[in-house]
């Protein structure tokens, strides 16, 4: 794959709801672009020495968001390649603008039904933990989070609708769209 994302922007950030496939697609995308892959949640875990559920449990969501913001500022200052954000990483307009200044922001848009199906009964995601037993509760919780977050997700440079595509195919679509997008912005 002969796509060079480096001349204009050094990084591709993936945003979207939890379970939308950012981590899975991000790894495939990094392989295709032949760049490094970083997952924000894993960087937060390395930085704190705690798992994401532990941070939520012992310090609460507000403290987690602060660590998340600090990690994003570090990442934009020091890392390149493909970076999978967390579902709540676009916390405010300032942070969204900052990320967009430092890389291409790609929104992985996955239907809420698919997300609910994927996350149903799976633990490990504190934001939905108490809603995950009943799929209808999970759907409602994800819908309400989506409503709050869509104003930020929709500011991404590119939106990719996942449909029934596999992660490698979604990564290939992103590569094509990025190449097209970069060309338009160069001329």
Ligand X SMILES: Nc1ncnc2c1ncn2[C@@H]1O[C@H](COP(=O)(O)OP(=O)(O)O)[C@@H](O)[C@H]1O
Annotated binding-site members for Mg(2+): 23
Query: Within 13 Å of residue 27, how many CA atoms lie on the same side as its CB?
Result: 6
Please tell me the total number of residues recorded for the chain in this structure.
187
Q: Is 132 in the site for ligand X (CB under 6 A)?
A: no
Extract the annotated binding site for substrate: 41, 65, 87, 149
Tokens of 159: 């939106």
Of 49-57, 66-74, 158-166, 177-185, the window that binds ligand X (rule: CB under 6 A) is 158-166
Distance CA 149, CA 5 (A): 27
Which residue, 34 or 36, has its beta carbon nearer to ligand S3P? Answer: 36
- How much of the chain is in helix, strand and coil states, percent to nearest 5? 60, 10, 30
Query: Within 13 Å of residue 76, how many CA atoms lie on the same side as its CB?
Result: 19
Extract the annotated binding site for ATP: 19-24, 125
From the list 165, 127, 186, the residue with the least C-alpha distance to 21 is 165
In the stretch 21-60, what mask flags binding to Mg ion with x, by CB under 5 A? Answer: -xx-------------------------------------
Q: Is 22 in the site for ligand S3P (CB under 6 A)?
A: yes
Binding site for ligand S3P (CB under 6 A): 18, 22-23, 41, 52, 86-88, 125-127
- Which residues of the shown chain bind ligand X in the complex (CB under 6 A)? 16, 18-24, 84, 118, 162, 165-167, 170
């Amino acid at each position: 794959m002969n796509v060079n994302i480096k001349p204009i922007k050094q990084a591709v950030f993936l945003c979207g709801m939890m379970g939308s496939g950012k981590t899975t697609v991000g790894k495939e995308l990094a392989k295709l672009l032949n760049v490094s892959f970083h997952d924000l949640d894993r960087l937060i875990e390395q930085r704190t020495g705690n798992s994401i559920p532990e941070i939520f449990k012992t310090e609460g969501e507000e403290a987690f968001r602060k660590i998340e913001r600090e990690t994003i500022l570090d990442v934009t200052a020091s890392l390149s390649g493909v970076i999978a954000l967390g579902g709540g990483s676009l916390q405010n307009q300032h942070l969204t603008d900052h990320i967009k200044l430092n890389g291409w922001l790609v929104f992985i848009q996955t239907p809420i039904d698919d997300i609910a199906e994927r996350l149903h009964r799976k633990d490990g995601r504190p934001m939905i933990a108490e809603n995950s037993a009943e799929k209808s509760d999970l759907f409602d919780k994800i819908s309400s989070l989506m409503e709050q977050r869509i104003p930020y997700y929709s500011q991404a440079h590119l939106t990719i609708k996942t449909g029934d595509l596999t992660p490698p195919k979604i990564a290939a679509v992103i590569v094509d769209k990025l190449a097209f997008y970069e060309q338009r912005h160069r001329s």
